[in-house]
Amino acid sequence: QVQVVESGGGLVQAGGSLRLSCAASGRMFSINDMGWYRQAPGKQRELVATITNGGSINYVDSVKGRFTLSRDNANNTVVLQMNSLKTEDTGVYYCNVRARSTLRSYSRDFWGQGTQVTVSS
């Protein structure tokens, strides 16, 4: 299995910033896409930002210009810098890792446990 370890999250005022980090590790897996999803109260989980192993980044429209996703440490760690936070950014944020087994030649998604982000007005 691929282990997904998240850090960050917390409580901030609107207009403030938070930094989320996610590190993926595992034996016999090649890590491809990585990114973040979030689930607001009473809503379904949605994509926030993803980055491919080729460096292509996709953001949901509502965070463009405010959030920045980067990939570090030999492409096994991603950092989501969240600036100008809004109350509607509140939710549980989950790190997503798509990896391919080098032993069995299949791909699957792995998820972090989720970290709470709360933006107060």
CA dihedral 9, 10, 13, 14 (to 10 degrees): 30
Query: Is it the case that residue 74 has pLDDT exceeding 80?
Result: no
Longest dimension (CA), the chain: 49
Distance CA 67, CA 77 (A): 16
- Region 98-111 average pLDDT: 93
CA separation for the pair 8, 40 (Å, rounded): 17
| Six token digits for residue 43 | 């809503």
Residue 101 corresponds to which amino acid?
S
Mean pLDDT score across all residues of the chain: 95
